[in-house]
Chains A and B, each alone.
Chain A
Amino acid sequence: MSGAPVAPQAESVELGLLLVPPRARTGWRVVPARVVAMCTVELQKLRHDRTELYTRAVQPALWLLIFGETFTRLRAVPTGGIPYLDYLAPGIIAQSAMFIAIFYGIMIIWERDSGVLTKLLVTPTPRAALVTGKAFAAGVKAVIQAAVVVVLAAVLGVGMTWNPLRLLGVAAAVVLGSAFFSCLSMAIAGVVLTRDRLMGIGQAITMPLFFGSNALYPVELMPGWLQAVSRANPLSYQVDALRGLLIGTPAHLPLDFAVLALATAAGITVASGLLGRLAR
């Protein structure tokens, strides 16, 4: 070793804490800690740059303004006595949350390409905890987006509850739904490995998921085969829960939340198993 130049400042600064490794969290505490870490990053990014929040509000606004207002006048969809705009608003909240989550895999691929993911995979974070953290970070982003859509809907005169407990339930449904769809996206990213392919698949599945759910019309109006698709589609359960909580339509909340929780757990399991492929 030859005499390498030494930075005087680095020599003089206090390094005491950097000599002692932090004590590792163990057991059940690991996952919540990582979820908080990932959600914090998401909130910090949104605080620095809110452009995405505004641009993503355009599409739901158009759905409510154009599609919702027009179909309210048409009275073509039997909604059980409530204005179509009211019926539509929870579906649009679910849609805008899904659109955020379904392209989360692209972010994972970007993080792989930029080395961020690689660095996180070298930390003592189990892959399931990393995926759970990312999934709930997508949920946090979606909740903020959902809040924007709720305000838009309120401005358009949609009669919604302002009961804090019900709104908390709405947030939970949005988080769970987004967590599932982001895991679906991360799992696909782990299979296809490139942004271009994921982009194509994301676009190919988004619309079928949306139109094959109860977001725009009641399931009873669908042909039999599409009803079967809708029953297997977690988005339908999310919309059902949102509609029940926000508008007060008859809903199956225990079933809705159970399906969303199970789908999220399955999504985390599959995405965690495939995450390592992105690092190789």
Chain B
Amino acid sequence: MTDNAVECSGLEYTFHRGRRKDAGTRAVDGVDLAVRTGEVFGLLGPNGAGKTTTIRAITTLLPTPAGMVRVFGHDTARERTEVRRLLGYVPQQLSADGGLTGRENVELFARVFDVPRAERAARVAQALAAVDLTEAADRMAGTYSGGMVRRLELAQALVSAPRLLVLDEPTVGLDPIARAGVWERVDAVRRATGMTVLVTTHYMDEADRHCDRIALMDRGRIRALGTPEELKSRVREQDPAAGDPSLDDVFRHFSGRGLTRGEATEGDIGDVRRTRRTAGRVG
């Protein structure tokens, strides 16, 4: 039995446009990755780095060849249903249904994960309490603030007791207080349940503060991997003039360019539109 929650070996994915199979965009280009059970693992990089594609391969949304991605030892190509039972997933978009109450949103996921009727109400209530939404549970989700929607999505993911929680840009577009609120709940639930958390973000401060280990991703490849402190000390060793480097300096060191101030804001129009749409909805 493996100690790793996620294993990717030589993960590649190319998006083909049109019918030509020889042309396309290589979004992920040979990613080797192991996420240890119980850790918070951050996948960092600018738009278009391949983070979301990697996440989509791990969550079985993208077809990959057998043997390329494993979740708790289950092959995502051959054992999709088994893998999905182990996952809680919060996509980049604000995905709660505004036409339902918070409680109904969570109930839907309790139903599709086969929570028996006898314990459904109690389990849903616990998931809502875990993210501090008990009082707002019977309000329409369409009236929630951006931070509340993110916490609601967290409750939807938690209701099935996942072993791996996958968060794709969970705080994009949120104000600092809402961001802190989301992370507080993630940290608390993770401490209480011991689940593994795989998160993508391009907020360096969040990764520094909340992740046990991080992988810096750029142009479809992992450029560096380790704890935030390890990566910083590696930069200090290789470049003594760097002083006390931030994670942004670390990223610049390993990828040859910066992550902020518009230096690496690539990604196709879909990436930008998705990010803006989410940011717009959280207000």
Give the interface of A toward B (CB within 8 A).
Answer: 1-2, 4-7, 9-11, 13-25, 33-34, 36-37, 40-41, 44-45, 48-49, 113-116, 118-126, 276, 279-280
Residue with the greatest number of chain B CB neighbours at <10 A, chosen from A6, A16, A115, A125: A115
Give the interface of B toward A (CB within 8 A).
Answer: 15, 39-40, 56, 59-63, 81, 84-85, 87, 89-95, 97, 99-101, 104, 108-116, 119, 122-123, 126-127, 129-132, 140, 156, 158-163, 180-181, 183-185, 187-189, 191-193, 208-212, 227, 277
CB-CB < 8 A to A123: which residues of B? 84, 109, 112-113, 160
CB-CB < 8 A to A5: which residues of B? 180, 183-184, 187
- B130 engages A18 (CB within 8 Å): yes
- A120 engages B112 (CB within 8 Å): yes
- A11 engages B114 (CB within 8 Å): no
Alpha-carbon distance between A22 and B111 when the two chains are bound, in angstroms: 10
- A18 engages B161 (CB within 8 Å): yes
Alpha-carbon distance between A23 and B74 when the two chains are bound, in angstroms: 18
Min distance, Cβ A157 to any Cβ of chain B, angstroms: 36
- B192 engages A2 (CB within 8 Å): no
Alpha-carbon distance between A224 and B98 when the two chains are bound, in angstroms: 49
- B161 engages A21 (CB within 8 Å): yes
CB-CB < 8 A to B89: which residues of A? 118-119, 122
- B161 engages A10 (CB within 8 Å): no
Min distance, Cβ B35 to any Cβ of chain A, angstroms: 14
Q: With A7-B187, A23-B116, A119-B91 given, can you name 11 additional A-B contacts, CB distance below 8 Å?
A: A4-B210, A10-B131, A14-B126, A23-B114, A37-B111, A44-B104, A48-B99, A118-B61, A118-B91, A122-B59, A124-B81
CB-CB < 8 A to A118: which residues of B? 61, 89, 91, 93, 95
- B193 engages A15 (CB within 8 Å): yes
Alpha-carbon distance between A193 and B71 when the two chains are bound, in angstroms: 29
Alpha-carbon distance between A21 and B188 when the two chains are bound, in angstroms: 19
Q: Residue of B at shortest CB range from A10?
A: B188
CB-CB < 8 A to A34: which residues of B? 111-112
- B119 engages A122 (CB within 8 Å): no
Q: Residue of B at shortest CB range from A22?
A: B115
**Could you pull out 11 A-B pairs where Cβ atoms are within 8 angstroms?**
A1-B40, A1-B227, A34-B111, A34-B112, A41-B97, A48-B101, A118-B89, A118-B93, A122-B59, A122-B61, A280-B61
Min distance, Cβ B137 to any Cβ of chain A, angstroms: 13
Alpha-carbon distance between A15 and B183 when the two chains are bound, in angstroms: 18
CB-CB < 8 A to B113: which residues of A? 21-22, 123-124
- A11 engages B99 (CB within 8 Å): no
The 5 A-B residue pairs with the shortest CB-CB distance, nearest first, are: A115-B95, A115-B93, A10-B188, A37-B111, A115-B91
From B15, B87, B91, B126, A18 is in contact (CB under 8 Å) with B126
Instruction: Decide: A11 near B193, CB < 8 A? Known: A21-B161, A123-B113.
Output: no
Alpha-carbon distance between A148 and B125 when the two chains are bound, in angstroms: 36
Residue with the greatest number of chain B CB neighbours at <10 A, chosen from A17, A25, A48, A121: A17
Q: Residue of B at shortest CB range from A23?
A: B114
- A17 engages B122 (CB within 8 Å): yes
- B112 engages A44 (CB within 8 Å): no
CB-CB < 8 A to A276: which residues of B? 63
From A18, A25, A33, A44, B159 is in contact (CB under 8 Å) with A18
CB-CB < 8 A to A44: which residues of B? 100-101, 104
Q: Residue of B at shortest CB range from A37?
A: B111
Alpha-carbon distance between A10 and B168 when the two chains are bound, in angstroms: 22
Min distance, Cβ B273 to any Cβ of chain A, angstroms: 9
Instruction: Decide: A4 near B112, CB < 8 A? Known: A17-B122, A18-B123, A115-B92.
Output: no
Alpha-carbon distance between A5 and B191 when the two chains are bound, in angstroms: 11
Alpha-carbon distance between A280 and B13 when the two chains are bound, in angstroms: 11
Alpha-carbon distance between A33 and B117 when the two chains are bound, in angstroms: 11
CB-CB < 8 A to B99: which residues of A? 45, 48-49
